[in-house]
């Protein structure tokens, strides 16, 4: 793994999910492979969604979730602002994908990522010049 890769929320959730050990291992292995060779990027949307899942579905302690968010802040984090939202609306209209997925693409594009790791979009599709890769199909 080289270059800039945007991590979708589901990728991060699987890193901490004990319900799906195979997906967890895949994500952790990709993170390990990325060390020193790839720049990993998140957005404030991803951090918000991740925190909501960890606190809600996984019932993790507040202190632990805050510590994980602090660790994730070492990655490049794109702030979602009005400009990104407007660009996401354009992507949504042009490609007929969900607004939330369009916002992920908009954030990845603003950070000059060439790849988004997600299982939510079509594997190997190229949307707004960004390659979509499902980490579980690699």
pTM of the model: 0.94
The domain 3-133 is classified under which CATH number: 3.40.190.10, 3.30.70.260, 3.40.50.720, 3.40.50.1010? 3.40.50.1010
* pLDDT (0 to 100) of residue 54: 97
Low-confidence ranges of the chain (pLDDT < 50): none
Give the model's pLDDT for residue 138. Answer: 81
Sheet holding 130-133, edge to edge: 76-78, 38-43, 3-7, 115-117, 130-133, 126-127
Predicted pLDDT of residue 2: 83
Residue 122: CA count within 13 A, CB half-sphere? 7
């Amino acid at each position: 793994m080289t270059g800039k890769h945007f991590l979708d929320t589901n990728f991060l959730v699987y890193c901490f999910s004990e319900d799906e050990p195979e997906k967890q291992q895949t994500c952790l292995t990709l993170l390990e492979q990325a060390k020193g060779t790839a720049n990993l990027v998140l957005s404030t949307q991803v951090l918000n969604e991740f925190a909501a899942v960890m606190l809600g579905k996984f019932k993790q302690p507040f202190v632990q979730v805050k510590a994980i968010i602090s660790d994730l802040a070492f990655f490049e984090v794109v702030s979602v602002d009005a400009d990104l939202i407007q660009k996401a609306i354009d992507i949504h209209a042009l490609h007929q994908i969900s607004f939330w997925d369009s916002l992920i693409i908009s954030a990845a594009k603003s950070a000059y990522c060439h790849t988004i790791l997600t299982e939510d979009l079509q594997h190997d599709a190229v949307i707004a010049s960004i390659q979509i890769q499902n980490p579980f199909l690699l």
